[in-house]
């Protein structure tokens, strides 16, 4: 009986890892999410993502999985901009700050940018003016707008997505099964 219970637990763990792998290795999702660990800790981490958008953004695996989901919706630019801003804020070189700011602006903020984010004209203009004396906070208004948009729009869709629902259902049933068989 104990051997069967152990075998059943191993089988459930393998199924869970397979499900995580399928979710994160779909060709249409890109390669960003491939580094997601399929350990039990990462499974529990995936359940944390539904607690708040902050939980998701603080998780490297959460960001990768959310990015993969956004790619399926062709709406990854807001997250990519938010991440670029986070990285930009870490810049310490004054000389590089200006060039990085202009690169981010051209890629995400200016009208007709290759990955143009969805922000209002006023925020776009404030951001453009901030570039004249680039500081680590020059994108704060635009970043806040895109974060709010993701939190109110993309994040709820992610939580309702079949992939995330299936993932959390398998994690929950795996945890319940493990409790029953220990």
Helices (H), 26-59: 40-48, 53-58
Domain 37-179 part of CATH 3.40.605.10: no
| The pLDDT value given to residue 41 | 52
DSSP letter, residue 31: S
Contact (Cβ atoms closer than 8 angstroms) between residue 149 and residue 78: yes
3-class DSSP assignment, residue 93? coil
Query: Tens-digit pLDDT profile for the chain (182 aa)?
Result: 444 444 434 444 444 444 445 444 444 444 434 434 444 556 788 999 999 999 999 999 999 999 999 999 999 999 999 999 999 999 988 889 999 999 999 999 999 999 999 999 999 999 999 999 999 999 999 999 999 999 999 999 999 999 899 888 888 876 655 555 55
Domain boundaries, the chain: 37-179
Alpha carbon distance 22, 31 (integer Å):
12
What pLDDT shows up at residue 40? 52
Contacts by residues 51-55 (CB-CB < 8 Å, ≥ 24 positions apart): 53/150, 53/151, 53/155
Q: What is the pTM of this model?
A: 0.75
pLDDT of residue 134: 92
CA distance 146 to 154: 10
């Amino acid at each position: 009986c104990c051997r069967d219970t152990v075998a059943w637990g191993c089988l459930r763990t393998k199924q869970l890892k397979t499900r995580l792998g399928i979710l994160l290795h779909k060709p249409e999702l890109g390669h960003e999410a491939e580094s997601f660990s399929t350990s039990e800790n990462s499974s529990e981490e995936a359940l944390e993502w539904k607690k708040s958008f902050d939980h998701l953004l603080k998780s490297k695996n959460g960001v990768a999985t959310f990015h993969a989901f956004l790619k399926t919706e062709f709406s990854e630019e807001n997250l990519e901009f938010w991440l670029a801003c986070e990285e930009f804020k870490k810049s310490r070189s004054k000389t590089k700050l200006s060039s990085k700011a202009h690169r981010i602006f051209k890629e995400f903020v200016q009208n007709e940018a290759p990955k143009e984010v969805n922000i209002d004209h006023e925020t776009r203009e404030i951001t453009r003016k901030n570039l004249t004396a680039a500081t680590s906070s020059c994108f704060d208004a635009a970043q806040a707008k895109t974060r709010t948009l993701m939190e109110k729009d993309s994040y709820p869709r992610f939580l309702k997505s079949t992939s995330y629902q299936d993932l959390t259902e398998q994690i929950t049933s795996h945890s319940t099964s493990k409790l029953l068989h220990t």
